[in-house]
Chain A
Amino acid sequence: MATNFSTALRTAVVGAIVTQAGAGAKLKFYSGTRPSGVTAVGGGTTLLGTVTLGAAIGTTSSGAIDWDEASATQSNGSHVSGTPTFVDLETSAGTILFRTDLGAGSWTFTGAIATGQNITLSSLVTTSGNA
């Protein structure tokens, strides 16, 4: 069943993500089995690296978020070597807003996280469905 939203509505949908994320949101990269939904991470997962985003995670237009990679910061000395399997977006207060697998059809991760090496963010976009 096809359901289509107007572009304005789709922009508002992803705009809610930007609003809820607020300033200083974090992308946290984990290895291990992805917990269900957006439940708290626990045993079996390892936090490999954290990237802190800027005053806003990105800008919205045409039903999509264009993530602000340039404002992202990280302390690569705290990174743990490994290959991430999923990534969480958290507010600065630690509330998980969304969780997504890393792989085909989604955000992809090339290489592996390594201590002392920055995680590079390239061309990140989140596009609302129902176009």
Chain B
Amino acid sequence: MASVVTPLVYRVASGRPVNAGRWPGGRVGGGITLADAVMSGTFATAVPTSVNTALMGDSLTTHLLGYNWSPFWWANGLAAGGALKLIANAGISGNTIGDMLARVNNAYTNATPGLAGLGTVGRIFLRAGTNDCRSQTPWSSVSSNASALLTALKALCTGRIIILSVPPVGPTEANYAAINAVTLTYNTGWAALAAADPTRLLFVNDSANLRDGSGAQLSGYFNGDGIHNDGRATWREGVDLAADTAFIAEVSGYPSPLSTDAADIYPAQPQWNPNHVMAGTGGGGGFTGQVATGYSVGGYGSGFAGTVAKVAADVGDPNQTPWQRVSPTQVGYTGGGEALLITAALSGRAVTSVDPAGLDITVEVRFNAFDTTKFKWSRIMIMGGTSSQPIMPDLDLKMGGESSITHSSVVARIAMPRLSGGVSESGLSLRWEWATRSAFTGSMGSFDFRCLTVRG
């Protein structure tokens, strides 16, 4: 920055007095200093929308053990690599749009829960309108409530509201044809509201493939009541939601929640599964072959057989954690809760009635032409050693799809609060059920899993 001006000096000529030859104007010395350029302005990275996620809806959203029909888990696992962290589910059976509006600002801990008091929430998934359609209430009569509900939801999160469509109803519902016609107008209405505020709202018609060409409900996807999903409808919605380009753009870009660090365990870290990196072959159970240390793979109930193996990660896979492969060859079913069963002991701090307040379960599952028509769901439960009951909502992947699932992998994740009525437990264990739909002997393909963490 300093720029020196060279002094100009006359040399004294020979024989001349030393004071006679100087520059008459005197000597200019030193230099001038150029001031720094002033840099003003800012750089910033866009603050990523929080991965914390909540659900709002009716019975198609509510989360009871083994009874949760939201496609969130499939969609999150396929499109976002399981990055979204579901921290609340405010689905209440039978709710209309007006019912949801009336409670949306309640605290989540309220007996009639809303979505207030959850801290930072990035996104909210909403599915609403089925119960209004069942009474054939026209969209024009609920649209103001729908707008008000969206306004309230926008105030409760920092990102977008993902509006999911109203599914079709089946012929066991009285006046189903007329009701189906109304559901289509609701979806048009939701889509129009979303289009008016694309920054905060995204509508995805995830149930379009559950209708035939006339808009009627396809058979084979729903329960006998014609209203509630069978596992295959939830799977279909999840796959279709995960394939929506706008949804992919909305939820992609987050780092993977999977842990590959063997040191990421208690007591150094609040992570309760001591072998999420699938080390060793010291596991057991009723199946034949190798099981990673600490795991047991077998059947709950009679009629189960299969093979198990440790499988190296694919070449080039940035996650080099080996997989535990499970290849059932025989599954039983009598309606008595039979399931292919994976268990593991968990290790952590003392469990009181309130601590841990919640747990974040994450696992990567890979399907290898796995025949899900023989299964109803995969659900991971965290069991209390004293109560012998789940202490938090299960991590559930509904299935029973039309055919084999060959998706490379899905990262399933849930981080819900502890169930009410908690007690002190002697410890925690993991119980992972693959509930069967029918008895079968023969090839069913296989599934692999790894990086199963229980954090909190």
Cβ-neighbour of B34 out of A87, A120, A129 (below 8 A): A129
Rounded to whole angstroms, the CA-CA distance of A112 and B42 in the bound complex is: 12
For B254, the chain A residues whose CB sits under 8 A away are 116
Chain A contact residue count (CB 8 A cutoff): 37
**B43–A107 contact, CB under 8 A?**
yes
Question: Provided the pairs A100-B39, A121-B41, A127-B38 are in contact, do residues A115 and B255 lie with their beta carbons within 8 angstroms?
Answer: yes
For B45, the chain A residues whose CB sits under 8 A away are 110-114, 117-120
Rounded to whole angstroms, the CA-CA distance of A113 and B36 in the bound complex is: 27
Cβ-neighbour of A111 out of B32, B33, B44 (below 8 A): B44
**A122–B37 contact, CB under 8 A?**
no
**B32–A1 contact, CB under 8 A?**
yes
Looking at the assembled complex, report how far the CB atom of A116 sits from the nearest CB atom of chain B, in whole angstroms: 3
For B42, the chain A residues whose CB sits under 8 A away are 107-110, 122-124
A81-119 CB mask vs B (1 if < 8 Å, else 0) is 000100100000000000010100011111111111111
A10-42 CB mask vs B (1 if < 8 Å, else 0) is 000110000000000000010000000000000
Rounded to whole angstroms, the CA-CA distance of A131 and B255 in the bound complex is: 47
For B4, the chain A residues whose CB sits under 8 A away are none
Question: Provided the pairs A1-B33, A115-B255, A130-B35 are in contact, do residues A125 and B41 lie with their beta carbons within 8 angstroms?
Answer: yes
For B41, the chain A residues whose CB sits under 8 A away are 67, 107-108, 121-125
**A127–B33 contact, CB under 8 A?**
no
**B43–A120 contact, CB under 8 A?**
yes
Rounded to whole angstroms, the CA-CA distance of A84 and B42 in the bound complex is: 12
Question: Provided the pairs A29-B43, A107-B43 are in contact, do residues A127 and B34 lie with their beta carbons within 8 angstroms?
Answer: no
B34-57 CB mask vs A (1 if < 8 Å, else 0) is 111111111111111000000000
Closest A residue, CB atoms, query B43: A109
**B35–A117 contact, CB under 8 A?**
no
Looking at the assembled complex, report how far the CB atom of B41 sits from the nearest CB atom of chain A, in whole angstroms: 4
Rounded to whole angstroms, the CA-CA distance of A117 and B49 in the bound complex is: 11
Q: Is B253 positioned at the interface, with any CB of A under 8 Å from its CB?
A: yes
Chain B, interface size category, equals 20 to 34
Looking at the assembled complex, report how far the CB atom of B28 sits from the nearest CB atom of chain A, in whole angstroms: 13
Closest B residue, CB atoms, query A101: B39
Rounded to whole angstroms, the CA-CA distance of A130 and B255 in the bound complex is: 47
**A123–B34 contact, CB under 8 A?**
no
Q: Is A45 positioned at the interface, with any CB of B under 8 Å from its CB?
A: no
Question: Provided the pairs A3-B33, A3-B34 are in contact, do residues A118 and B40 lie with their beta carbons within 8 angstroms?
Answer: no
Question: Provided the pairs A100-B39, A119-B43 are in contact, do residues A114 and B33 lie with their beta carbons within 8 angstroms?
Answer: no
Closest B residue, CB atoms, query A98: B37
Cβ-neighbour of B39 out of A84, A106, A121 (below 8 A): A106
**B40–A123 contact, CB under 8 A?**
yes
For B39, the chain A residues whose CB sits under 8 A away are 100, 106-107, 124-127
**B35–A3 contact, CB under 8 A?**
yes
Looking at the assembled complex, report how far the CB atom of A93 sits from the nearest CB atom of chain B, in whole angstroms: 22
Rounded to whole angstroms, the CA-CA distance of A115 and B32 in the bound complex is: 45
Rounded to whole angstroms, the CA-CA distance of A54 and B34 in the bound complex is: 29
Closest B residue, CB atoms, query A76: B253
Rounded to whole angstroms, the CA-CA distance of A102 and B39 in the bound complex is: 10
**A117–B34 contact, CB under 8 A?**
no
For B38, the chain A residues whose CB sits under 8 A away are 125-129
**A107–B40 contact, CB under 8 A?**
yes
For B37, the chain A residues whose CB sits under 8 A away are 13-14, 126-129
Cβ-neighbour of B44 out of A100, A110, A116 (below 8 A): A110
Closest A residue, CB atoms, query B41: A124
**A117–B48 contact, CB under 8 A?**
yes
**A122–B32 contact, CB under 8 A?**
no
For A130, the chain B residues whose CB sits under 8 A away are 34-35
Closest B residue, CB atoms, query A5: B34
For A102, the chain B residues whose CB sits under 8 A away are 43
Looking at the assembled complex, report how far the CB atom of A108 sits from the nearest CB atom of chain B, in whole angstroms: 5
Looking at the assembled complex, report how far the CB atom of A68 sits from the nearest CB atom of chain B, in whole angstroms: 12
Cβ-neighbour of A108 out of B32, B43, B252 (below 8 A): B43
Cβ-neighbour of B46 out of A67, A109, A120 (below 8 A): A120
For A29, the chain B residues whose CB sits under 8 A away are 43
For B44, the chain A residues whose CB sits under 8 A away are 109-111, 119-120, 122
**B48–A110 contact, CB under 8 A?**
no
Rounded to whole angstroms, the CA-CA distance of A12 and B33 in the bound complex is: 17
Rounded to whole angstroms, the CA-CA distance of A51 and B332 in the bound complex is: 59
For B255, the chain A residues whose CB sits under 8 A away are 115
Looking at the assembled complex, report how far the CB atom of A6 sits from the nearest CB atom of chain B, in whole angstroms: 14
Closest B residue, CB atoms, query A27: B43
Closest A residue, CB atoms, query B46: A117
Closest B residue, CB atoms, query A118: B46
Rounded to whole angstroms, the CA-CA distance of A116 and B36 in the bound complex is: 34
Rounded to whole angstroms, the CA-CA distance of A107 and B38 in the bound complex is: 9
B377-417 CB mask vs A (1 if < 8 Å, else 0) is 00000000000000000000000000000000000000000
Q: List 6 contacting pairs A-B, 8 Å CB cutoff, sorted by A.
A: A3-B34, A87-B43, A102-B43, A114-B45, A117-B253, A126-B39
Footprint of A on B, CB under 8 Å?
32-48, 252-255
A87-B43, A106-B39, A122-B42 known; 18 new pairs, CB 8 Å cut-off, are A3-B35, A67-B41, A84-B43, A106-B40, A107-B41, A109-B44, A118-B45, A118-B46, A119-B44, A121-B43, A124-B39, A124-B41, A125-B40, A127-B38, A127-B40, A129-B36, A129-B37, A131-B35
In the A-B complex, list the 4 residue pairs whose CB atoms are closest, starting with the nearest: A129-B35, A116-B253, A124-B41, A110-B44
